[in-house]
Structure 1
């Protein structure tokens, strides 16, 4: 695709394209069933629901963070079951109602598994409704396909990889809100602060206050303080909203960055890690 974003107008015009797969990614971290309930109450015609916990993450363990990456074969089987195969002509469009946080997770996961034809609906479900797009309650019947994953293993690092990167002066980007980065407030994880040496780039700053993505030139400005050949490691609380910054990085025309999949929730679960509770 020429862009990782599509407009609501584009989606409406291409709704009947047999190569299109639409995925509803709505989710609420505080009420995990809410997204599925919202899907059942009304969704974009043809959309299938994927759940952050059940489909786009592995079960939480002692380490690996709150939303570990799903097992590759399990995700590949789930994608195939909803008609997403390895045919490069299959275009996947993901949407949510949370500033693209969960749609971006699916966007990143598909590209990580080697499927390039994936985009996020700019403006999310609100953009669809703003142009008069209808919502339906029917769950579509889609023929299954075979998804053959080709994981881009270099795109992911674990805590050991972060420590190696730290030692070499590698750039780390924290995507959370400033209060959490500075350790002033931590509503989710047991420890407040950030990984030593990490810079702050709040994920929501990639979008405007209505949930539409800022222009490529504005995305470039977000990252202009970093070298053009930089390959930062980007993290957040659990590896979800970091994907918004990864998409922002892509919109800025940069080469793929890396994701610390376990993110802060993994880092702070290790008692051996030195915890920074404020900006350096």
Structure 2
């Protein structure tokens, strides 16, 4: 996938002192919202800054909109400028491994048209396993001016999803199979999936040893999807869905939209039906 960068390429980039590069640590754990920041303060890639899923990459959860609604984009763009990003900055994002939180920031940058953004393959774990150094030093940042426009056509809301699935638009559910089926639901008061959704677990774009699928293996995984049709991607709260969007974009799918509220928003509307098991 073209939006990934290897540890070797990143190391070469840093050794060559390429200017206007910002590295962002987005490690996070859903069951411990302070864990990511604590891990960052203990050890991170040299020069990396930290952005938090709840505080920086999401807005405040309300009755509707899902448990990780999109952030206010004016505030998000201001934060980008505050950590030294402008329109020409190359942004490198990393997670603990090949996890879903890096893809969330990748998608947010995609949504404002930022072209120079990459996810580090293997995340911090891959960096360390390759023998590279980490630090606890917090970098000094120079604020910049970022000018951006959010691309509204990259998202759909609940009402649009309801209308689209009624006419046969493809809807992907990116959660693990047991949550999609309704056999297991650790986060929400209701279990199951949006009627008509097909399960493409975000974990399935990774191999058994946790590496990103590429080439024919990735093509085969999504072979039932037409590259010319509109595809809406969802999950629990609009985070893991971004992994599938990253993978689909890498394969040349162009008409892909995120349902940011996803299942957590869908079930907040009592009138919405829920399916259990396979369709």
Instruction: Indicate if the aligned counterparts of 1:100 and 1:211 stay in contact, CA closer than 8 A.
Output: no
Question: Shift of the alpha carbon at 1:95?
Answer: 0.5
Instruction: Indicate if the aligned counterparts of 2:97 and 2:126 stay in contact, CA closer than 8 A.
Output: no
Q: Structure 1 residues 116, 45: CA separation in 2 closer, same or farther (over 3 Å shift)? A: same
Question: Shift of the alpha carbon at 1:98?
Answer: 4.7
Q: SS where residue 157 of structure 1 aligns?
A: coil
Question: Shift of the alpha carbon at 1:97?
Answer: 1.2
Q: C-alpha distance in 1, partners of 2:177/2:204?
A: 11
Q: How does 1:152-167 map to 2 (within 5 A)?
A: 152-167=151-166
Instruction: Tell whether 2:100 aligns with 1:101.
Output: yes
Question: Shift of the alpha carbon at 1:75?
Answer: 0.3
Matching residue of 1:205: 204
Q: Structure 1 residues 97, 211: CA separation in 2 closer, same or farther (over 3 Å shift)? A: farther
Matching residue of 1:151: 150
Q: C-alpha distance in 1, partners of 2:249/2:103?
A: 12
Q: C-alpha distance in 2, partners of 1:133/1:158?
A: 43
Question: Shift of the alpha carbon at 1:42?
Answer: 0.5
Structure 1: tracts of 5 or more residues without a match: none
Matching residue of 1:266: 265
Matching residue of 1:45: 46
Q: C-alpha distance in 1, partners of 2:199/2:229?
A: 16
Matching residue of 1:74: 75
Once the two structures are superposed, residues 141-162 of structure 1 have per-residue CA deviations (whole angstroms, 9 ceiling, x without a partner) of 1211111122111110110110
Give the TM-score taking structure 2 as reference length: 0.96
Matching residue of 1:61: 62
Q: C-alpha distance in 2, partners of 1:230/1:216?
A: 21
Q: C-alpha distance in 1, partners of 2:210/2:109?
A: 22
How many residue pairs align between the two structures? 277
Q: SS where residue 63 of structure 2 aligns?
A: coil
Question: Shift of the alpha carbon at 1:65?
Answer: 0.4
**What is the root-mean-square deviation of aligned Cα atoms in Å?**
1.2
Question: Which moves more between the two structures, 19-28 or 90-99?
Answer: 90-99
Matching residue of 1:196: 195
Instruction: Indicate if the aligned counterparts of 2:97 and 2:125 stay in contact, CA closer than 8 A.
Output: no
Question: Which moves more between the two structures, 204-213 or 236-245?
Answer: 204-213
Question: Which moves more between the two structures, 227-236 or 19-28?
Answer: 227-236
Structure 2: tracts of 5 or more residues without a match: none
Instruction: Indicate if the aligned counterparts of 2:98 and 2:121 stay in contact, CA closer than 8 A.
Output: no
Instruction: Tell whether 2:154 aligns with 1:134.
Output: no
Once the two structures are superposed, residues 101-136 of structure 1 have per-residue CA deviations (whole angstroms, 9 ceiling, x without a partner) of 000000000010111110100111111111111110
